[in-house]
């Protein structure tokens, strides 16, 4: 079930979800990061049995979000893909062909190594480094700028909570400061970084049933 938390950032209404995505209302745009299509197939090539169901599940969640918000545009701030061409790309291509009118824009990340011809064939607009749609600047790796408000991904932010029995547990989160928004990894087949972020970041954590400030 999709749970939401609305915030006004840079005078724009952003809707945070417990499905690892942000919806920008004015632009009718869904913003995600680090889908890592092809990661499970990449591991299978190395002899590690990771089911392609991981990708099917991620794409089903993305489809639900597109329907829920009536999205016109999906903006991916890096690492749509994980490696070169492999069998998981066929799953993605089948999914993409079901949304011929959906605009997809990718700010290339460090894992996006697919040939340019592929992006053209499947109508994915590619931006090499950064994309400005005022008042935001979209990049893959986090940038701390005094002049720009950047939206990024890359580090897969998480937050640690201490349980009643002193056991610690981690949750994925959005990280928000005065000039940055860092998105969680959209793929469930990723780890969580709970140590990189320093300074005045507020966290928005979530589970399958709730989203909350922490």
Give the pLDDT confidence of 54-68 residue by residue, as tens digits.
Answer: 889 999 999 999 999
150-206 pLDDT tens trace:
999 999 999 998 877 677 889 999 999 999 999 999 998 678 889 888 778 999 999
Which of the four pLDDT bands, split at 50, 70 and 90, describes residue 118?
confident
Residue that is written with structure tokens 């349980």 in the block: 163
pLDDT-derived band at 48, boundaries 50, 70, 90: very low
Cα 185 to Cα 119: distance, rounded to the nearest angstrom:
21
> How many Å is the maximal CA-CA distance in the chain?
54
Query: Which pTM was predicted?
Result: 0.91
CATH architecture for the domain at 4-213:
4-Layer Sandwich (3.60)
Q: How far apart are CA 187 and CA 177, in angstroms?
A: 23
pLDDT at position 81 is: 86
What confidence tens digit (pLDDT) does each residue in 17-33 have? 999 999 999 999 999 99
CB 139 within 8 A of CB 129: yes
């Amino acid at each position: 079930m999709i749970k939401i938390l609305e915030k006004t950032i840079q005078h724009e209404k952003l809707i945070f979800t417990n499905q690892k995505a942000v919806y920008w209302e004015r632009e009718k745009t869904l913003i995600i990061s680090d889908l890592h299509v092809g990661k499970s197939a990449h591991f299978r090539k190395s002899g590690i049995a990771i089911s392609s169901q991981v990708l099917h599940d991620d794409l089903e969640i993305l489809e639900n979000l597109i329907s829920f918000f009536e999205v016109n545009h999906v903006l991916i701030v890096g690492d749509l893909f994980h490696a070169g061409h492999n069998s998981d790309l066929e799953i993605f291509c089948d999914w993409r062909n079901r949304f011929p009118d959906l605009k997809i824009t990718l700010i290339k990340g460090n894992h996006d190594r697919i040939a340019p011809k592929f992006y053209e064939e499947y109508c994915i607009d590619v931006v090499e480094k950064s994309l400005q749609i005022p008042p935001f600047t979209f990049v893959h790796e986090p940038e701390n700028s005094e002049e720009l408000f950047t939206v990024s991904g890359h580090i897969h932010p998480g937050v640690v909570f201490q349980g009643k029995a002193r056991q610690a547990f981690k949750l994925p989160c959005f990280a928000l400061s005065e000039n940055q928004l860092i998105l969680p990894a959209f793929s469930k087949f990723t780890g969580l970084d709970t140590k990189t972020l320093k300074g005045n970041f507020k966290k928005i954590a979530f589970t399958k049933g709730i989203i909350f400030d922490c």
